[in-house]
Amino acid sequence: MLSIAISDLIDLALREDIGTGDITSESTIPENVMAKAIILSKDEGIIAGLDIAGEVFHKIDPNIDYKKLISDGDMITKKQEIAIVEGKARSLLTAERTVLNFIQRLSGVATITSRYAKAVSGYKAKIVDTRKTTPGWRALEKYAVRIGGGGNHRFGLYDAVLIKDNHIAVAGSITEAIARAKKQIPHTIKIEVETENLDQVQESIQAKADIIMLDNMTIDMMSKAVKLIDGKAIVEASGGIKLENVASVAETGVDLISIGAITHSAISLDISMDIILR
């Protein structure tokens, strides 16, 4: 069962693409011509979004027969068949681009996440996402991160406190910002503080932050911060982290590594749909 937000997103995507109608399919293909289509990969990676694809097809035509050949989270290779779909040719062609857009984008997010997760597999650190998501796509992109082996950071501004540099500047200090937050929020909500140096780390420890983010620190400074925190808070590393250095970051002993690039810079997988007349 799709959430209302995802169902609305699919509706928006279809309205955006179809508008007042698929004039090409409607003008070239008789209404009752039936067809079969195969969705296949032209890339290697982790597949995601197959159930969303089925929902797109069924919003266009409830009578379409959509069969997944694999499941989200499976590794795919070039020329691998992913799904088979049968129904009216017009309906298949009308749904094609929106279906592929969802699968390609979500598979791209899952794939890059899996690469980061694999790079830190020997350490306790877990790869997590950020709020740097495509507007309207957050629930789906965060789902794709989980499919790729990562975890989710806060979903939005409402489900966790994350005190960043601008909050600190306005509040006057980390200590004051945390004190104010603790007076306002329920005890069930955690408080995280973004720190840029060891003095801020020490202040966050003393103010009893639940999570301390080490933002854009060097590997050496991260190692010192982890020792300073010494289990008194969850430690998150963020900023300037790439596949080339993520293992070194994990080696410092941090608990979480948040990476905006797994959503904002993911490259979509190349996936196509080929029609075969029945």
Q: What is the pLDDT of residue 4?
A: 85
Task: Read off φ and ψ for residue 124, nearest 5 degrees.
Answer: -80, -20
Q: What is the pLDDT of residue 171?
A: 96
Q: How many Cβ atoms are within 10 Å of 248's Cβ, its own excluded?
A: 14
d(CA 150, CA 122): 14
- Which pTM does this prediction carry? 0.95
Q: What is the pLDDT of residue 2?
A: 72
d(CA 65, CA 85): 6
Q: How many Cβ atoms are within 10 Å of 22's Cβ, its own excluded?
A: 20
Lowest mean pLDDT among 83-87, 189-193, 233-237, 273-277: 273-277
Task: Read off φ and ψ for residue 158, nearest 5 degrees.
Answer: -100, -10
Element (DSSP H or E) covering residue 141: helix 138-147
Tell me the pLDDT band of 152, cut-offs 50, 70 and 90. Answer: very high
Q: What is the pLDDT of residue 277?
A: 74
Mutual angle of helices 50-60 and 89-119, in 10-degree steps: 160
Whether 242 contacts 257, CB under 8 Å: no
Partnered with residue 163 across adjacent β-strands are: 193
Q: What is the pLDDT of residue 124?
A: 97
Tens-place pLDDT, residues 129-148: 999 999 999 999 999 999 99
Q: What percent of the chain has pLDDT over 90?
A: 97
46 has pLDDT over 70? yes
246 has pLDDT over 60? yes
**If you average pLDDT over residues 248-269, what whole number do you get?**
97
Q: What is the pLDDT of residue 91?
A: 98
Whether 110 contacts 144, CB under 8 Å: yes
**270 burial level (CB within 10 Å; 0-12, 13-18, 19+):** middle
**Residues with a known catalytic role:** 97, 132, 164, 194, 215
1 has pLDDT over 60? no
**If you average pLDDT over residues 9-13, what whole number do you get?**
96
SS3 assignment, position 227: helix
Tens-place pLDDT, residues 160-169: 999 999 999 9
Can you point out the beta strands (E) in 48-177? 65-68, 75-76, 81-88, 126-128, 161-163
Whether 177 contacts 192, CB under 8 Å: no
Among the listed residues 76, 99, 58, the one whose alpha carbon sits nearest the alpha carbon of residue 275: 99
- Structure-token pair, residue 251: 């080696």
d(CA 113, CA 130): 12
CA R_g for the chain:
23
